[in-house]
Amino acid sequence: MLPLDDPDTRFMQQALTLARSAPLIGEVPIAALLVHEGIVIAQAHNLRETRQDPTAHAEVIVIQDAARHMGSWRLINTTLYVTLEPCTMCIGAIVLARIPRLVFAATDPKAGACGSIMNIPPEPRLNHRVEVVGGVCAEESQALLQDFFQQLRKDAARRETT
């Protein structure tokens, strides 16, 4: 683990704090924040259940909010922090938004598109490259997700017995 005075660790800890609030409204604890020149300009956790929108991933919401904030769809000089490896949709949005740097925590063996099931960022045919750093605070993020899904299974089993 990187020291807390490391910016990647510090910002990922902020994203994890945000992710912890998602289950309070029935959302999976995945969060993202976008940093521009050392300042958080947008942050969100998943809202797929709340909005009943399959595209309401934290990354997409953050990219939309940041583009409005910056007045441009080109999110240059930024770093995106995400508590889970982005899926194909999200890494596509990251590439299209020209985000130069992505830092994620836990890998996603079921949908991850930054090395787990696919590896889109280094694709040479794309017109933009994203520097990817994975594994920052990975254990903490993985534990948060595992705890969430274990609780869901317990709740479902309890409902079945009543």
Taken in order of first residue, the domains within the chain and their CATH numbers are: 7-161 (3.40.140.10)
Which pTM does this prediction carry? 0.94
d(Cα 67, Cα 110) in Å, to the nearest integer? Answer: 29
- Phi, psi dihedral angles at 27 (to 5 degrees): -105, 150
87 is in an annotated binding site: yes
45 is in an annotated binding site: no
Beta bridge partners of 75: none
Q: Strand, coil or helix: what is 37?
A: coil
Catalytic residue among 27, 37, 49, 59: 59
- The residue ranges of the chain whose pLDDT is under 50 are 1
137 is in an annotated binding site: no
Q: Strand, coil or helix: what is 101?
A: strand
Tell me whether residue 37 is one of the annotated catalytic residues: no
d(Cα 117, Cα 126) in Å, to the nearest integer? Answer: 18
Residue for token digits 């583009």?
A: 67
**Residue 92 near residue 120 (C-beta atoms within 8 A):** yes
Beta bridge partners of 133: 103
d(Cα 12, Cα 161) in Å, to the nearest integer? Answer: 39
pLDDT at residue number 4: 59
- Buried/exposed code over 99-122 (b: 16+ C-beta within 10 A; e: otherwise): bbbbbbbbbbeeebbbbbeeebbe
pLDDT at residue number 157: 83
Q: pLDDT digit string (tens) for 97-120?
A: 999 999 999 999 999 999 999 999
d(Cα 94, Cα 24) in Å, to the nearest integer? Answer: 27
